[in-house]
Amino acid sequence: MSAPPIRYATNGDIHLAYRVHGDGPIDLVIVGGAFTNLDVLWEVAEYRDYMDRLAAFARVITFDKRGMGLSDRVRAGTLEERMDDVRAILDDIGSESAALVGNSEGGPMSILFAATYPERTRALILCGAEIKEETTEDWPWGESTREDFEAAMQIDRVLERWGKGLGLQYFIPSRGDDERLRELWGRLQVQSASPHDAVAFMRMAFEIDVRHVVPTITTPTLVLHRVGDLICHVENGRWLASHLPNAKYVELPGENHIAFIDGDDILDELREFLTGVREPEEPERVLATVLFTDIVGSTERARELGDRRWRELVDRHHDLVRNELVRFRGHEVDTAGDGFFATFDGPARAVRCARSIVDDVHGIGLDIRAGLHTGEVVLAGSDVRGIAVHTGARVAAQAGAGEVLVSQTVKDLVAGSGIEFEERGSRELKGLAGEWRLYAVSQS
């Protein structure tokens, strides 16, 4: 699935980047932890799958905090300012009431929002949520003492660590040695905020204490906390459960602090709390070959031809692609801009269809790239999702003009078909582990 478009809401002079996933009946705002960047997060396959599954029953809104990611790079906002930012985003999409999921450092702001705007808070979910970061005599479950925090916030120490993905073993112990996630974790740090801005944000967050706000919340609340969480002590969750007037507390096994990694149990609890149904209708899982196509150099050609002639040419392209999909029994899933996403129940037909599409559109003066991969996909209504879909899109992104690129899996499955391939070597595919051997379909 392609990334939903970035939208911008405004709160005064501040522009806030956000995305909307799905169109379910419940508006669900994800208030992320300390650092976010919508584009980097979308590169994480587990995150995309998590968003897909939430979008099966909700309209999911994700955003970058002010001062971070794709939002305006201004000073770190106070809780009050960031609460108003969420309200501005809800206003921008026309949402009167939403459920808030406060993860980690996003917990305090979600708590303040629910207390301040109960009429706009349909439900509150607190997942590994902080209450107070500083460890004190009356709060022994903080993240560190002030002395240790000040030592860690020395800019030279932060510069040594920033962008290297350090600390992954504390945030995601189950994947602490995953080099793919470590690299993405480092990129998330760098592209969320500069080291100086990161220090300013962490200093602001360290001063937060929402204990006095919690008892005023009347919104139905679900508190989820892993018993071995290495970042936010489980006593944070237990304290919330005992001080929220209308809360359900679920203590989960494990140590991971990040909700979307190995988080099936979190999704189950969250869905049941919001819909009353724990298990969704089991989606159909089938083996399929996915095809992605994309016009090469579309921006330049559109500029060269002008809007009207370009639109006419794209319409001819669409007609040709759809004719070939019918001919080879392909199923059109999505058309985003000038590209197609389709599935096939046979890899050889998919390869031949892709090769025919490339040849046909070349005849009208267009070059396209195409990529194919075969794997298990999830069918949920008209939606097709799963890691195989993301893999197919990444393979297509590696193809050159007029090239049909396939994964090793596709090549192996069409053995004996007479289709010939040229080896293109091993490549790293963005957001996917390991190296992938790719092959180009020989031109007939």
- Tell me the DSSP string of 100-128: EEEETTHHHHHHHHHHH-GGGEEEEEEES
Report the candidate in 271, 237, 265 with the shortest Cα–Cα distance to residue 127: 237
E-strand ranges in 140-275 read 221-226, 247-252
- Using the structure block, give the residue that is written with the tokens 């899996």: 409
Least confident segment among 1-5, 71-75, 433-437: 1-5
How does pLDDT run across 403-426, given as a tens digit for each residue?
999 999 999 999 989 999 999 999
- Report pLDDT for 285: 84
- Report pLDDT for 381: 66
How does pLDDT run across 62-105, given as a tens digit for each residue?
999 999 999 999 988 888 999 999 999 999 999 999 999 999 99
- Report pLDDT for 44: 86
How does pLDDT run across 252-310, given as a tens digit for each residue?
999 999 999 888 899 999 999 999 887 655 667 889 999 999 999 888 888 888 888 98
Share of the chain above pLDDT 70, in %: 98
- Report pLDDT for 94: 95
Residue 329: pLDDT above 70?
yes
Look up residue 286 and give its DSSP letter. E
Cα gap 354→282, rounded to integer Å? 31
Cα gap 134→140, rounded to integer Å? 8
pLDDT band at 430 (very low <50, low <70, confident <90, very high): confident
Cα gap 322→328, rounded to integer Å? 10
Cα gap 268→277, rounded to integer Å? 9
- Using the structure block, give the residue that is written with the tokens 């004719």: 323
- Report pLDDT for 245: 87
Residue 1: pLDDT above 60?
no
Domains belonging to the chain, first-starting first, are 7-275 (3.40.50.1820), 284-441 (3.30.70.1230)
The DSSP string of 331-361 is: EEEEEETTEEEEEES-HHHHHHHHHHHHHHH
- Report pLDDT for 109: 95
